[in-house]
Amino acid sequence: MGQPLITKDTLVQYLRDRAPQDPIVEVYPDYPNDDTHIKYGVYVRDVSTMSREPYQIGVTYGGSIYTDTDSFQIVYISFQEDPQGPDMRTIIEDMAGNISLFDGYFDTTYTKTVQIGNRSEKYTYTFNSKRIEFNNTI
């Protein structure tokens, strides 16, 4: 099974280049472990291959072609009425349509969950990107 075509480092750099700078929205490469002490900012989880299924053309013609689904999460921790919030959420949500970022993938989708606290907001985005994988016996 092949490695994902996109890396966490690429995602972190993409978000850092586009994140609002006044005030700055920090992008962290380390995914938080403890939900009670998370700083304001964006967190990126490692990209991993979540599933592998035979591709229809491979089934029809007897080839070793598979659809691999790579997955990763981005968490945006904000406070209520954050003036940077709408811009940062738009940047994250627009990632799914970025053809150059997801070069080699034929379908990228995401789901979003929102948790509203007393003064905080937590947006968790789970991205799933599908790519074609060929098994080579060489």
Supply φ then ψ for residue 83, to 5 degrees.
-65, -20
Q: What is the DSSP string of 76-135?
A: EEEETT-TTHHHHHHHHHHGGG-TTTTTTEEEEEEEEEEEE-SSEEEEEEEEEEEEEEE-
Q: Domains (ranges, CATH) in the chain?
A: 8-134 (3.30.2000.10)
Cα dihedral 27/33/38/41 (nearest 10): 10
* Banded model confidence at residue 138, pLDDT cuts 50, 70, 90: very low
Q: Is 115 exposed, middle or buried (0-12, 13-18, 19+ CB in 10 A)?
A: exposed
pLDDT at 89: 95
Write out pLDDT tens, residues 83-122.
Answer: 999 999 999 999 999 989 999 899 999 999 999 988 889 9
